[in-house]
Amino acid sequence: MEFRDLKKQYEVLKKDIDSAMIDVAASGKYINGPWVKELEAQLADYVGVKHCISCANGTDALSIAMMAWGIREGDAVFVPDFTFFSSGEIVSLAGATPIFVDVDMDTFNISTESLEKEIVQVKEEGLLTPKAVVAVDLFGLPADFASLRAIADKYDIKILEDGAQGFGGEIEGRKACSFGDISTTSFFPAKPLGCYGDGGAVFTDDDEIAALADSIRVHGKGSMKYDNVRIGLNSRLDTLQAAILQVKLKAFSDYELDDVNKVADKYNEYLREALGDRVVLPFIPEGFLSSWAQYTIQLKDRAERDAVQAALKEKGIPSMIYYPKPMHKQEAFGIEGEYKFDCSNTEKLCDRVLSLPMHPHMSDEEVKEVAEALAEILL
Ligand SMILES: *Cc1c(COP(=O)(O)O)cnc(C)c1O
């Protein structure tokens, strides 16, 4: 069994992907070919925002947001403690200070109560200026943007939606990657919408930010490429990846997002049947749709989780631990041991979570096999 079966997906799309790749090879337009602009228009249309600016990867997309807002030393940016490293890395890279915020146990997403507490404390201390919150759509589920917007307005900070795992998700019919003042995504192969290498995108409704992001991704270009008006990056999306993504976006919106939700429903059904309340299943709030970057269950504690993972492996079932370590304990940030905010939910989740095989091409039989294996191990 595959954890995320990208080869199966290629088999299904082979004809269209092969011809897209050959068309790019034959065109000679390997950088900024017409596929890039077409894809950006398709992505903006899908997400429902005015501008999509593609770039080299999801981490650069976040960095472009930091640069467009001029975030720098002395600024505080609030980041969930339970996420992939990039979400905080880009804050430190910009010279600002990431402040890690605890998450909710049921959605895995940033806790709006903890966020407000930490903003208030940072303001009271007066050493840093709160500028933005990185709201991550973890495992495919959009963060609680209604509450986040209220807090952002109250304290005059920006929302950066890190939709690297969230592409395709929805709240009340509105698409992920449209909720931030700037939103970003990643096209790393295993993300909900992946290419065949690295890729990413920035989304915004703001014309000025869009123009800035477009400049930053090409060495801070001015009126043309050899007129440089600011320090930027070399962060374009390759034409080849854009052509592949056009094929994949069509499959994603035609059936993959539906199919992956059907797989999630099957998981919920079979796991309930086989295990009752023995494990905690993922929670999707009313009105929300997940794009299921991961299907993540919670076990009792680290010992049980690690034992279950090892036993699944024996049975030929791959699983992953996203994430084994809270952000505030990552050595890179240099705050380990002295962190003053309460991130106890994140600490519990790092001990308990286990992500099961999940992708749109997973069969009912495979889902059943995982559920039965878990029942054998746990009951
Ligand atoms: C994958 C990921 C990123 C980074 O994307 P890359 O394309 O790998 O640079 C950022 N944030 C989150 C939450 C991610 O999962």
Per residue in 189-204, pLDDT tens?
999 999 999 999 999 9
How far away, in angstroms, is 83 Cα from ligand 1 center?
9
Which residue is closest in CA terms to ligand 1's atom 14?
Answer: 164
Residue 42's identity, in one-letter code, is Q
Atom of ligand 1 nearest to the CA of 200: 7
CA distances from 363 to 265, 266, 274, 320 (A): 12, 10, 17, 19
Residue 180's identity, in one-letter code, is G
* Most informative mutation of 4, 55, 57, 59 for ligand 1 (most atoms within 8 A of CB): 59
What whole-number distance in Å separates Cα of residue 220 and Cα of residue 213? 9
Q: Are the beta carbons of 349 and 321 closer than 8 angstroms? A: no
**Who lines ligand 1 at CB under 6 A?**
57-59, 83-84, 86-87, 136, 162, 164-165, 186, 188, 198, 200
Fold of the domain built from segment(s) 255-378: Aspartate Aminotransferase, domain 1 (3.90.1150)
Strand segments (E) across the chain: 51-55, 75-80, 97-101, 129-136, 158-162, 170-171, 174-175, 182-186, 200-204, 288-289, 295-298, 353-356
What whole-number distance in Å separates Cα of residue 19 and Cα of residue 199? 20
What whole-number distance in Å separates Cα of residue 87 and Cα of residue 333? 12
Provide the pLDDT for residue 308.
Answer: 98
How far away, in angstroms, is 26 Cα from ligand 1 center?
31
What whole-number distance in Å separates Cα of residue 86 and Cα of residue 260? 25
Residue 337's identity, in one-letter code, is G
Provide the pLDDT for residue 338.
Answer: 77
Number of Cβ atoms within 10 Å of the Cβ of 271: 22
Among 198, 69, 192, 188, smallest CA distance to 134 is for: 69
What is the model's pTM? Answer: 0.98
Fold of the domain built from segment(s) 6-101+108-248: Aspartate Aminotransferase; domain 2 (3.40.640)
Kindly provide the b/e burial profile for residues 172-198, where b requires at least 16 CB atoms within 10 angstroms of the residue's own CB: eeebbbbbbbbbbbbbbeebbbbbbeb
How far away, in angstroms, is 379 Cα from ligand 1 center?
36
User: pLDDT under 50 in the chain at which residues?
Assistant: none
Which residue is closest in CA terms to ligand 1's atom 5?
Answer: 58
Q: Domain boundaries in the chain?
A: 6-101+108-248, 255-378
How far away, in angstroms, is 61 Cα from ligand 1 center?
9
